[in-house]
Chains A and B, each alone.
Chain A
Amino acid sequence: GQNIDQPTEMTATEGAIVQINCTYQTSGFNGLFWYQQHAGEAPTFLSYNVLDGLEEKGRFSSFLSRSKGYSYLLLKELQMKDSASYLCAVRDSNYQLIWGAGTKLIIKP
């Protein structure tokens, strides 16, 4: 079966750096997405990786290793507003998105 694994919850300190990992086993691979979802709100797109390597976008970076079935989202200079759930999703060979359950990130002052 297809599976996306990510930690359920993480805690970090304001101003610090946090890395959220995502491992996947899917039928084929056509890209990996990270979305941010604040409590009670809709998910919003953060990043997309289809080739191996690091994609940087401001304070957020996303890394992909297709051979390892692994990605991470790196958040730098954490702010209180970064408290949210972070969803990892993989697009499979049928171009359907398979979603992880999300990682709830708690930022403490």
Chain B
Amino acid sequence: IAGITQAPTSQILAAGRRMTLRCTQDMRHNAMYWYRQDLGLGLRLIHYSNTAGTTGKGEVPDGYSVSRANTDDFPLTLASAVPSQTSVYFCASSAQGATGELFFGEGSRLTVL
């Protein structure tokens, strides 16, 4: 693994089903993030974690949950998917430092029918 890995890359899901998007990084970054990207809108933060064991809510947290049991993994769970959660989901991480640039995974395209 090099960088951030997301899985699955694409998924079609029936409304009401539970879904977990996986995210793993091997850069030992403290901070991790989940964003959704929709056409015509900027990236919107769903949840974040500044360090293992802690999480926080972003701009659009409703319907999503996260956990951060260790430094490397940051899964995103949709407890009961709805069509409005159809989107491309990006996991990202950043190291502490002056710029704090984000490193993104390749994205997970989720379609909820």
* Interface of A, helix, strand, loop or mixed by DSSP: strand
- Interface bin, chain B: 10 to 19
* Interface of B, helix, strand, loop or mixed by DSSP: loop
Set A42, A95, A101: member contacting B104, Cβ < 8 A: A42
Give every chain A residue within 8 A of B102 (Cβ-Cβ). 33, 35, 43, 45, 97
Count of A interface residues, CB-CB < 8 Å: 22
Distance from B34 Cβ to chain A, minimum over Cβ atoms (Å): 13
Distance from B38 Cβ to chain A, minimum over Cβ atoms (Å): 9
Query: A31 CA to B100 CA in the complex, in Å?
Result: 10
Set B42, B99, B101, B106: member contacting A99, Cβ < 8 A: B42
Look across to chain A and name the residue whose beta carbon is closest to the beta carbon of B88. Answer: A40
Look across to chain B and name the residue whose beta carbon is closest to the beta carbon of A35. Answer: B102
Look across to chain B and name the residue whose beta carbon is closest to the beta carbon of A44. Answer: B104
B90 at interface, CB cutoff 8 A = yes
Give every chain B residue within 8 A of A45 (Cβ-Cβ). 101-103
Question: Closest 7 interchain pairs by CB?
Answer: A99-B42, A42-B104, A99-B43, A45-B101, A48-B99, A101-B42, A100-B42
Interface residues of chain A, those whose CB is within 8 Å of chain B, are: 4, 31, 33, 35, 41-45, 48, 50, 87, 89, 91, 95-102
Supply 21 A–B pairs (Cβ within 8 Å), ascending by A.
A31-B100, A33-B102, A35-B102, A41-B107, A42-B90, A42-B105, A42-B106, A42-B107, A43-B43, A43-B104, A45-B103, A48-B101, A87-B42, A87-B43, A89-B42, A96-B58, A97-B43, A99-B44, A100-B42, A101-B41, A101-B42
Q: A42-B106, A45-B103, A95-B100 are in contact. List 15 more A-B contacts (CB 8 A).
A: A33-B102, A35-B102, A41-B107, A42-B105, A43-B90, A48-B101, A89-B42, A97-B45, A97-B102, A98-B42, A99-B42, A99-B44, A100-B42, A101-B41, A102-B42
